[in-house]
Amino acid sequence: MNQFMPISRQDMAERKIEQLDFVYIIGDAYVDHPSFGHAVISRVLEANGFSVGIISQPDWKDDSSISLLGKPRLGFIVTSGNMDSMVNHYTVSKKRRQKDSYTPGGVMGKRPDYAVTVYCNLIRRTYKDTPIIIGGLEASLRRLAHYDYWSNKVKRSVLLDSGADLLLYGMGERSIVETAQALDAGIDIRDITFINGSVYKTKDPDSVYDGLMLPDYKRVVSDKRAYAESFYTQYCNTDPFRGKRLIEPYGEHLFVVQNPPSMPLSQREMDQVYSLPYMRTWHPSYDQAGGVPAIQEVKFSLVSSRGCFGGCSFCALTFHQGRIIQTRSHESILREAEQITWDPDFKGYIHDVGGPTANFRFPSCEKQLEHGVCPAKQCLFPKPCKNLRVDHKDYLKLLRSLRELPRVKKVFVRSGIRFDYLMYDKDRTFLRELCEYHVSGQLKVAPEHISDSVLEKMGKPTVSVYNRFVSAYKDMNEKLGKKQYLVPYLMSSHPGSTLKEAVELAEYLRDLGYMPEQVQDFYPTPSTISTCMYYTGLDPRTMEPVYVAVNPHEKAMQRALIQYRNPKNYDLVYEALHKTGRTDLIGYDKKCLIRPRRQDRGKYGQVPEKIREGNSRDKSQHRKKKTIRNVHKKKKSQ
């Protein structure tokens, strides 16, 4: 019979466990589903013979909260959860969020800021010598010196600030088992320096084989160019085949060493990970609070792949999952789909089939699984590589098989379609079936911007590629007799975007006849090329200067221009158009974004007759209403 991992001494007693091998401290609620990192790592350890107990969202103000399951035999594992705790807590404007979808009932405040560091310090106060292993997204993306947007500082490796012994970065299935086996064999945690996908501390850099020395921490703090150079060296060493060991000095006697990334999982290994006995829901102790909201997004979705060779500058996937695509077999995915169709809450709809990018089902070229990805070249940007493998046949076959399952009414694709990759496929079968079977009224895509100069900084294709996709999507839906629309994700204030480019984007939306309901301001999260640009003002790929909007008011103007029709944004749009010398967009012509203010109407051309008539009617109606109000006042006074 499947069970949740122990969360109490009573659970341990029922399983006849006197001492757990590992105690896993997590910043999220405990959800035993393969979309949650803690579930995957705990199940992988269990499958390899290790016992694991879960302490979810411990009270970091109470030392005893960390001792709930006693001292583990091999060590503590610590993660902040599926998100960086600072992104989880704060919007891009650094305002506190109102809801935490990874906490029971969506309650905010159940984990601390910089959760990995706080949890590790909490453990150390009670367990002085017990090994601590950190991992997950927060640790992974902060593994070396990094710019921290929330404090506006370059922070040290989280391995140092947390006081942990070992950091495992990336997805972690392979490295956590190797670490567990080493500890179980009696190897001291300080001597576990040989595992790919790990970061450790040393006082002797000469002991590091074939290492590449990065600039000293003090230098990257004081010199932004040195920071950009260091970051790009790290970026070019994120491939498991080609990556070098990186050594980051912190003075003369302390060094942080990053081993090359773990090798990608084979399809068989991926299948094994997703076949483990997950309970596929939150722990029953959360029932009274209404459960954990985050599971609603993934409960009836299927992960088909991981990794992404898209190479968007603002995305941290290169540092976490890597650029090599790893996939599950059709049989594995179909087994999971069959399983979820028997869930009492299943209504016949599979919400998604994909990964970081849904239509990537293979490595981008044949050589990657033998030689890795090119360190300083992208597969799709600025133009598709001549070796790029463009093929949707396997993904189509998978979607067709899922559609044929009993009890399945519809299969949606919501993971995000890489539209440029789709356009490079001369066979339009995938586009046709996507429109016919896998879209429900709207398809969300991510052009992000329309200015080629900004798109170049984003690592995205030129706007001409997106325009061709828009046309192809429209034509295909017309052929199918469907009325389906595109919902483009757009980003404001990305490095390289001035008010001029923001106005260009507003004009594009005007011509499209579309105003997005939501706009994402660029969010400088750790370990992305775009964040490096934001902090240094340099493109680390070329070391050329980049314009960066850091003033909150200018960022507000860029965001307002994308939603220029919203009356609340009028003043910001008016100011932006004056600042850019684009007052030609203020007026009554159909090409104008906004109308003039009442007192300025004579400055922007002749007021159309309809508006003058409307004004007269408004004034007349206002006088009538005023007269009626005065009559009522008189009657009341009498």
Query: Which residues are part of a known binding site for [4Fe-4S] cluster?
Result: 308, 312, 315
Please tell me the number of Cα atoms within 13 Å of 42 on its side-chain side: 34
Task: Check if the beta carbon of residue 352 is closer than 8 Å to that of residue 443.
Answer: no
Q: What is the DSSP string of 198-225?
A: EEEEES-GGGSTTEEEPPPHHHHHH-HH
Name which of 455, 490, 157 is nearest 311 in CA terms.
455
Rounded-to-integer distance, Cα 540 and Cα 217, Å: 18
Task: Check if the beta carbon of residue 469 is closer than 8 Å to that of residue 419.
Answer: yes
Rounded-to-integer distance, Cα 302 and Cα 350, Å: 8
DSSP letter at 21 equals: S
Rounded-to-integer distance, Cα 364 and Cα 387, Å: 8
Positive or negative: CA dihedral 78, 82, 85, 86: positive
Amino acid at 299: K
The H or E element containing residue 249 is strand 245-249
**Tokens representing residue 296 in the block:** 């609603």
Q: Residue 402: how many CB atoms within 10 A of its CB?
A: 22
Characterize the bridge pairing of strands 538-539 and 544-545.
antiparallel
**Tokens representing residue 300 in the block:** 């009836």
Positive or negative: CA dihedral 574, 577, 579, 583: negative
Characterize the bridge pairing of strands 301-303 and 352-354.
parallel
Rounded-to-integer distance, Cα 480 and Cα 478, Å: 5
Residue 485: beta bridge partners?
442
Phi, psi (5° rounding) for residue 182? -65, -45
Rounded-to-integer distance, Cα 584 and Cα 582, Å: 5
Task: Check if the beta carbon of residue 420 is closer than 8 Å to that of residue 469.
Answer: yes
The H or E element containing residue 306 is strand 305-306
Binding residues: 308, 312, 315
Rounded-to-integer distance, Cα 336 and Cα 49, Å: 24
Q: Residue 511: how many CB atoms within 10 A of its CB?
A: 10
Give me the residue label for tokens 């070098």. Answer: 244
Mapping DSSP to helix (H, G, I), strand (E, B) and coil, where does residue 96 land? strand
